[in-house]
Amino acid sequence: MRKREKMISLLLACTLPASMFLTGCGGSEAEDGKIVIELVHYKPEAVDVFEQLEEEFNKTHDDILLKIDSPNDAMTILKTRFIREDYPDLLGIGGDINYSYFIDAGILADVSDYPGIADINQGYRDILEGLEFVPTEGTYGVPYVANAAGILYNREMFKEHGWEIPTTWEEMITLCDTIRGEGILPFYYGFKDTWTCLAPWNSLAVDLAPADVCQQVNAGKTVFADEYREVAEKIQTLVSYGEDGPFAYGYNDACTAFANGESAMFAIGSYAVPQIKSVNPDMDIDSFVTPGSSDPDGQILNSGVDLQFCVTKACEDEGKKEAAYEVLNFLLADENLQMYLDDQSAVPCKSGNFTLAPNLDGMKEYITEGKIADYQDHYYPSEMAVDAQIQTFLIEQDVDAFLTKFDTDWVRYNRDIIQMVKDYNAQNGNQ
Amino acid sequence: MKHANDRKRTFLLMTIPVVALFFAFNTLPLIKGVMYSFTNFRGYGTYDWVGLRNYIDLFQDGRVGKSYLFTLKMAVAATIVTNVISLILALGLNSKIKFKSTLRGMYFIPNILGALVVGYIFNYFFTYIIPALFNTTSILASSTWAWVGIVAVCAWQAIAMNTIIYISGLSTVPEDVYEAGSIDGATGWERFKSLTFPLIIPFFSINMVLSGKNFLMVFDQIMALTKGGPAQSTESISFLIYNNGMAGGQFGFQSANAVLFFVIIVAFSVAQLQFTSSKEEQL
Amino acid sequence: MNDLKVKERYNMPVTILLILGLITIVFPLYMTIVIAFKQPSEMTNSISGILSLPKTWSFSNFAEAMRVTDFWNSLRNSLLITGVTVILSVVLHSMVGYAIGRNKAKNKWYNFAYLYVVSGMFVPFAILMMPLVKQTSQWGIANIFGVIICYVVFYMPMNLMLYSGYLVNIPIALEEAARVDGATTWTTYWKIIFPIMKPMHATVAVITALSVWNDVMTPLVIMSGSGMNTLPLAQMSFQTQFGTNYNLAFASYLLALLPLLIFYIICQKQILNGVVNGAVK
C-alpha cells in the first residue's frame, strides 16, 4: 500500500509542473476593454518589421490592441486553428491556391466595403479576382505587397562586357550565346529543388499563354497541350544554357554560385535577393522581364500578390470589422508600407510614389504601367506537383509526354473544381 | 487461490488504464481519420461524402503505386544495411575496448543531429565531395540511383538507435554464458551464432520491426535530400500523404492512402511478430 | 586466475576498427562545427572552401542563434516536455509491458492487447493529426499537457515491445520467490522487477527522449497559437520560404545537441551498471 501511495505521488510529481505551467501561459484576453485584433501572417522573415509596426500601432491607438503573430510554418498553424474553429481576425497570406481554398471554405469576409481598396493597383485586384474558382460576389483580400519573377543579372558583369538587356526572345538567345562565347556560364539553375523549375516556367508562361488559361481549361475551352507547347520548348532552350547536370544542385547552391559570379544570370524571383546578398553583400543585382515573346511590346512581367490581408468571417461576426479596417489603414499608410518595402525589397500593390529596391530597376516600368500577370502556378493544385513534373520533363526531354500527362493529371486533380465550374456555368449560362 | 486472484487483478489494473489512454489518443482519432477517407475533405471547411471514390482512385493512381514500390525497395535495403551494421557495432561497443564511453557517445551523435543539418551535409557530400573524389556525377541527380543515397543517409542516422537497442539486448546475456562457451572452446562467429544471437533474438525482432517501420514511413530524409526528385523517383508514401494531404488539398484522398498503408503494414508486421514470438517460445 | 587476466585486457583490434569507423561521424560533425562558426559570406560551393577553417573563431553565431530562438525559454519547454514524457513512459510503459509481457504467451486477451497496441505504431501520423488537433482542443488540452499525453501514447507501442522483449530473459523464478515471502504482485513488481529492468529503462529513456527532443510536428499542430516554442519549433525560423541561414541554424543545432548527448552518456552508465549487477546476481 505504501508503495502505491509512493507511485501516485511520483505520478503527481511529474504531472504537477506541467499543469502549473498551463496556468502560467493562459490568458490572452484584452485588458481595459480594448478591442483585440489578432493578425497572423506567413512571413516569418519579416518579423522585425511587423514587430515595429505592432508597437507603433499600439502606441497610437487607445481603443484597439493589435497582436501580430509571425509563426513559422504559418499555413499548417492556420489550418490547424481552423480545425479548432479558432480564427484570428486578420490573415496575412499569399495570393495562391490556399487563398482560393479559404474563400471556398467560407472562412474569409467580404471586404469590398473597405475604402482603402480603391488605392490598390487594379492589376493586383484583378489577380485576386482571378484566383476565385468561380466568380464570387465581393472582394476577399487587400493586396499589400507583390513579388516579381524574371531574370536576375549581375549588373557589374553586364557593364564590364557591354551586354545589353534583351527585349525579345531572339535577343535573349543571342545574349546567351555571346555570354557563353566569352567563357561565362549564362545561367545557374537549382533544379534539385523542384520548385525553382517554376520560376523560368512561370515567367515564360505569362508571355506565351493566356493569363486565364487554367480557367479556360476548367471550362473545357482549351487544353494545355496547345497552350503550353511553346512554353515547354522555350524552357528547354533556356535550360541548355545552364550548368551541366542542373538537377544535382539546389536553390541554395544556385544562389551561392550566382553570388560568387559563377553565372551571369539567374532565372528566379526578386525573393531570392536576400539569400544571394547574404553570401555576397556588395553584389549589384538588377533584373529584367523574361522576354518570352518575339514582340518587344508583348512581354509581361510575372508578378503575384506576395502578401495580402484578409478579414475573417469570425472577425466580422464579432463586430470587429471596423477595428480590423483601422489596422489595415495603418498598415497601408505610405510610410508604413515603405518601411516594409525597404526591409523586404518587395513591390507595393498600392499605387503611389514608393522607393523600390535597386534590384527591381529593370522591372519598374512594367510595375508602374501595370503590365503584369500572376504566376500561373498559383492556379495549380499543389498535390499535382507541377514543379516535379517540369523537372521530370527537363530530365527526360519529352515535350509530348509531358503535355499529355499535364492534361490528364489536371483533370484528375481538379475534378471537384471542374465540376463546380460546370455547375456554376449551367446555373448562370442562361442569363 | 487468493494469490492467483491478486495477480490477475493487479495485471488488469496495470493494463486497462494505459490501454484505455492508448485507445483515446490513437484509436479514436484513427477512426475519425478513416471517416475522412470517405470524403473530399481538404483539412478544413466543408466537405462531401464521396463513398469509395478515394479508394478506387488509389488503385488507379500511378504515382501512388510508384511510391509504394519505391518505399518498399528503400525500406528493405535500409533495414538490412542498418541491422547488419548496428549488430556488428553493438558487438564491438560491448566488447572490452578502450574509450568505451567516448566511443559509445560518438556513435550516438548521428541520431541527434537535426534533419536540416543532416540534409545540408549529405547534400554537400553527394553533390560536391563524392563526384570530386570519384569523378562521377551526383547520385542524387540520377533517378536510377538517388534511392541509394537515401538508403545511405537513413542507415547512417538509424544505426545509432538500433545499436543502443542491441547493446541493451547484449546486456541481458549473462557473463557465465560466455565463460561456459569459452570452456567449450567456442570462439568468434561460432560463439555468436550458437550462444549470443539466440539470446538476443527478441531484440533482433524488435529492431527489425522498428527499423522496418521507420523506413517504411520515411519522410524527413526525403525532404532533406531530394524532396521526391529527381523526376519524382523518390516519392515515399509518407511524402505523398503529408505533402498532398496535409500541405495540399487532397486530405480525404491521402487519408484513404494512409488507411491502406496502415492495413498493409499491420498485416505484415503482425504476421512477423507472431512468427518470431513462436520462435522465441521454442527456445 | 590466469583466465581472468586475459579477460581484463583490452581488445585492441576492435578498438582500432571502431576508431576508424568514427570517420563517418567525425567528418560530418567537423563540417557542422566549421559551418556553425562561419559567416554567410564565407559559404562557397567549392570543397576546399567548405572544409576550410572559419576566418575567425567567434561565438557571435551562437549568441545570435540563442537570441533568435529565445534559447532559454525554448530550452526550458523542450526539457519540460521531454523530461515529463520520459518519466511517464518509463513508469507507465514498463508497467504495462510487464503485465502484458508476462501474460501474452498464455492469455489470448493479453496477446490481443499486445498486438493491438503494437500495431498502433504503424498508424501514419498524418491521419491522426487533424482528428487529434480537434480532440485535444475539445478536451481543453491543446497545450503542453496534450502534447505530453500524445507522446506517451505514440511511443507506447515501441516501448511495450522493448519492455516485454526484455522480460523474456528475466527468470520468472525471481517473482515466485517473492510470492513465497508473501509479497503482492504489485509490490513484487516495484521492488524486484522494476529495478531489474534498469538497463531497459535507460534504453527506453534514451530512445524516447531522442524522438521527443527532435519532434516538430506534434507541438506544432497541438500547441499552435499558444505562443510556446520548443527548440525545434524555434529553430524553424532559420528556414524561410526563400532562404536558409545555415550558419545560425548549425550553431543552434549544436547547442540543442548537447543536453541530449549528456543525457545519453548518463543513461549509458546505467546500461553498463545493469550488466555488472546482472553478472553479480
Q: For residue B78, what is its C-alpha cell?
A: 535500409
User: What residues of chain C, 59 to 118, have a C-beta less than 8 Å from chain A?
Assistant: 80, 83-84, 87-88, 91
Per-residue confidence (pLDDT) for residue A41, from 0 to 100: 93
DSSP, residue by residue, chain B? -HHHHHHHHHHHHHHHHHHHHHIIIIIHHHHHHHHHTTB---SSS---B-TTHHHHHHHH-HHHHHHHHHHHHHHHHHHHHHHHHHHHHHHHHHSS-TTHHHHHHHHHHHHHS-HHHHHHHHHHIIIIIHHHHHT---GGG-TTTHHHHHHHHHHHHHHHHHHHHHHHHHTTS-HHHHHHHHHHT--HHHHIIIIIHHHTHHHHHHHHHHHHHHHHT--HHHHHHTTT-STTTT--HHHHIIIIIISSS-HHHHHHHHHHHHHHHHHHHHHHHHHHHHHHHH-
Which of A175-179, B89-93, C40-44, C174-178 reaches the highest mean pLDDT?
A175-179
Domains of chain A: 35-147+304-364 (3.40.190.10), 151-288+380-425 (3.40.190.10)
Residue C5 predicted with pLDDT over 60 = no
For residues A47 and A38, what is the distance between their CA atoms, to the nearest angstrom?
15
Question: What kind and span of H or E run contains A146?
Answer: strand A142-149
CB pair distance less than 8 Å for B202 and C165:
yes
Does residue B140 contact residue B225 with C-beta atoms inside 8 Å? yes
Q: How many CA atoms lie within 13 A of B68 on its CB side?
A: 13
CB pair distance less than 8 Å for A275 and C191:
no
**CA-nearest residue of chain A to B240?**
A383
CB pair distance less than 8 Å for C25 and B107:
yes
User: What residues of chain C, 144 to 203, have a C-beta less than 8 Å from chain A?
Assistant: 144-145, 148, 186-187, 190-191
Give the CA distances from residue C170 to residues A357, C197, C278, in Å, rounded to whole numbers and listed in that order. Answer: 71, 9, 10
pLDDT-derived band of residue C1, with 50, 70 and 90 as boundaries?
very low
CA angle C157, C158, C162 (to 5 degrees): 115
CA angle B13, B18, B23 (to 5 degrees): 125
B222 touches chain C (CB under 8 A): no
A27 touches chain C (CB under 8 A): no
C48 touches chain A (CB under 8 A): no
Does residue A349 contact residue A305 with C-beta atoms inside 8 Å? yes
B85 touches chain C (CB under 8 A): no
Residue C15 predicted with pLDDT over 60 = yes
Other residues' Cβ atoms within 10 Å of the Cβ of residue A392: 23
Q: For residue C11, what is its C-alpha cell?
A: 581488445
DSSP, residue by residue, B192-207? IIIIIHHHTHHHHHHH
Does residue A182 contact residue A245 with C-beta atoms inside 8 Å? no
Q: For residue C84, what is its C-alpha cell?
A: 515529463
Please, which residues have CB within 8 angstroms of residue C91's CB and are 6 or more apart in sequence?
A7, A10, A11
For residues A54 and A20, what is the distance between their CA atoms, to the nearest angstrom?
30
Does residue C275 contact residue C91 with C-beta atoms inside 8 Å? no
B10 touches chain C (CB under 8 A): yes
CB pair distance less than 8 Å for B229 and A192:
yes
Residue A85, Cβ density class (10 Å: 0-12 exposed, 13-18 middle, ≥19 buried): exposed
Per-residue confidence (pLDDT) for residue B276, from 0 to 100: 67
Q: Helix-strand-coil percent breakdown of chain C, rounded to 5?
A: 80, 0, 20
For residues A181 and C31, what is the distance between their CA atoms, to the nearest angstrom?
37
For residues A64 and A41, what is the distance between their CA atoms, to the nearest angstrom?
19
Q: Which chains touch A (3 or more CB pairs under 8 A)?
A: B, C
Grouping H, G, I as helix, E, B as strand and the rest as coil, residue A241 is: coil
For residues B21 and C152, what is the distance between their CA atoms, to the nearest angstrom?
9
- The neighbouring-strand residues paired with A288 are A151
Please, which residues have CB within 8 angstroms of residue C126's CB and are 6 or more apart in sequence?
B238, B241, B242, B245, B246, B254, B258
Give the CA distances from residue C217 to residues B220, B238, B252, in Å, rounded to whole numbers and listed in that order. Answer: 11, 14, 20
CA angle B241, B244, B247 (to 5 degrees): 105
Q: How many CB pairs under 8 A join A and B?
A: 89
Q: For residue A31, what is its C-alpha cell?
A: 485588458
CA angle C154, C158, C162 (to 5 degrees): 150
Residue A418, Cβ density class (10 Å: 0-12 exposed, 13-18 middle, ≥19 buried): middle
Q: How many CA atoms lie within 13 A of B165 on its CB side?
A: 30
**CA-nearest residue of chain A to B14?**
A4
CB pair distance less than 8 Å for A382 and B46:
no
Burial readout A181-202 (b: 16 or more C-beta within 10 A, e: otherwise): eeebbbbbbbbbbbbbbbbbbb
ipTM of the complex: 0.87
Per-residue confidence (pLDDT) for residue C44, from 0 to 100: 82
Gap from B191 CA to chain C (nearest CA, Å): 16
CB pair distance less than 8 Å for B141 and A247:
yes
User: CATH for B52-282, among 1.10.3720.10, 2.40.50.140, 3.40.30.10, 2.20.25.90?
Assistant: 1.10.3720.10
Phi, psi of B219 (to 5 degrees): -145, -55
Phi, psi of A197 (to 5 degrees): -65, -25
Per-residue confidence (pLDDT) for residue B98, from 0 to 100: 84
Per-residue confidence (pLDDT) for residue B199, from 0 to 100: 80
Q: Whose CA is closest to C148, among C232, C77, C74? A: C77
Other residues' Cβ atoms within 10 Å of the Cβ of residue B170: 21
B33 touches chain A (CB under 8 A): no
Burial readout C244-266 (b: 16 or more C-beta within 10 A, e: otherwise): bbbbbbbbbbbbbbebbeebbee
Per-residue confidence (pLDDT) for residue A314, from 0 to 100: 93
CB pair distance less than 8 Å for A381 and B249:
yes
Sheet hosting strand A185-187, strand order edge to edge: A185-187, A263-266, A151-154, A285-288
Report, as ranges of residue numbers, the positions in chain A whose pLDDT lies below 50.
1-29, 430-431
For residues A203 and B79, what is the distance between their CA atoms, to the nearest angstrom?
44
C135 touches chain A (CB under 8 A): no
Among the partner residues A10, A69, A72, nearest to C237 by beta-carbon distance: A72
C236 touches chain A (CB under 8 A): yes
Per-residue confidence (pLDDT) for residue A132, from 0 to 100: 81
Phi, psi of A35 (to 5 degrees): -80, 125
Per-residue confidence (pLDDT) for residue A33, from 0 to 100: 77
CB pair distance less than 8 Å for C128 and B26:
yes
Q: C249 contacts in B (CB within 8 Å)?
A: 116-117
Does residue C227 contact residue C73 with C-beta atoms inside 8 Å? no
Give the CA distances from residue A323 to residues A31, A57, A107, in Å, rounded to whole numbers and listed in that order. Answer: 16, 12, 18
A162: left (phi over 0), alpha (psi -120 to 50) or beta: left
A69 touches chain C (CB under 8 A): yes
CB pair distance less than 8 Å for A252 and C143:
no
A352: left (phi over 0), alpha (psi -120 to 50) or beta: left
**Which residue of A395, A402, A420 is the best one to mutate when testing the B interface, meaning the one whose CB has the most B CBs within 10 A?**
A395
The percent of residues in chain B predicted with pLDDT above 90, rounded, is 34
Question: Which of the two residues, C275 and B146, has the higher pLDDT score?
Answer: B146
Q: A15 contacts in C (CB within 8 Å)?
A: 84, 88, 145
For residues C248 and C66, what is the distance between their CA atoms, to the nearest angstrom?
9
Q: B236 contacts in A (CB within 8 Å)?
A: none
DSSP, residue by residue, A318-378? TT-HHHHHHHHHHHHSHHHHHHHHHHHT-EESB-S--PPPGGGGGGHHHHHHT-EE--GGG
Does residue A305 contact residue A128 with C-beta atoms inside 8 Å? yes
Grouping H, G, I as helix, E, B as strand and the rest as coil, residue C256 is: helix
Does residue A64 contact residue A34 with C-beta atoms inside 8 Å? yes
Q: What is the CA radius of gyration of chain A?
A: 24
Could you report the per-residue pLDDT of C144-160, keeping only the tens digit for each? 999 999 999 999 999 99
* Domain C69-246+253-280 homologous superfamily, CATH: MetI-like (1.10.3720.10)
Among the partner residues C87, C191, C220, nearest to A73 by beta-carbon distance: C220
CB pair distance less than 8 Å for A76 and C186:
no
Q: A101 contacts in B (CB within 8 Å)?
A: 42, 45, 249
Q: B176 contacts in C (CB within 8 Å)?
A: 279
Q: A385 contacts in B (CB within 8 Å)?
A: 228, 232, 243-244
pLDDT-derived band of residue C125, with 50, 70 and 90 as boundaries?
confident
CB pair distance less than 8 Å for A18 and C91:
no
CB pair distance less than 8 Å for B103 and C214:
no
A10 touches chain C (CB under 8 A): yes
Q: How many CB pairs under 8 A join B and C?
A: 265
Among the partner residues C161, C185, C268, nearest to B101 by beta-carbon distance: C268
Residue C4 predicted with pLDDT over 60 = no
Does residue A224 contact residue A403 with C-beta atoms inside 8 Å? yes
CB pair distance less than 8 Å for C220 and A77:
yes
Per-residue pLDDT of chain B (283 residues; tens, 9 = 90+): 567 788 888 899 999 999 999 999 999 999 999 999 999 888 777 788 988 989 998 888 889 999 999 999 999 999 999 999 999 999 998 888 888 888 888 898 898 887 888 888 999 899 888 888 888 888 888 888 999 999 999 999 999 889 988 988 887 777 666 666 565 665 677 777 777 888 888 888 889 888 988 899 899 889 888 888 798 999 999 999 888 887 777 888 999 999 999 998 888 777 776 776 666 655 4
Instruction: Report chain A residues touching chain B, CB-CB < 8 A.
Output: 75-76, 79, 82-83, 97, 101-102, 104-107, 192-194, 245, 247-250, 253, 381-383, 385, 388-389, 391-392, 395-396, 412-413, 416
Which residue type sits at A76? T
Grouping H, G, I as helix, E, B as strand and the rest as coil, residue C44 is: coil
Grouping H, G, I as helix, E, B as strand and the rest as coil, residue C269 is: helix
Gap from A246 CA to chain C (nearest CA, Å): 14
Per-residue confidence (pLDDT) for residue B250, from 0 to 100: 82
B232: left (phi over 0), alpha (psi -120 to 50) or beta: left
C224 touches chain A (CB under 8 A): yes
Q: C184 contacts in B (CB within 8 Å)?
A: 6, 10
Residue C105 predicted with pLDDT over 90 = no
For residues B33 and B208, what is the distance between their CA atoms, to the nearest angstrom?
28
How do the domains of chain C map onto residue ranges? 1-58, 69-246+253-280
**CA-nearest residue of chain A to C147?**
A18
Gap from B199 CA to chain A (nearest CA, Å): 33
Is the pTM for the entire model greater than 0.90?
A: no
For residues A249 and C137, what is the distance between their CA atoms, to the nearest angstrom?
43
Per-residue confidence (pLDDT) for residue C158, from 0 to 100: 92
Q: Whose CA is closest to C89, among B206, B21, A314? A: B21
Gap from C252 CA to chain B (nearest CA, Å): 10
For residues C238 and C216, what is the distance between their CA atoms, to the nearest angstrom?
14
**CA-nearest residue of chain C to A38?**
C225
Please, which residues have CB within 8 angstroms of residue B29's CB and are 6 or more apart in sequence?
C127, C128, C131, C132, C135
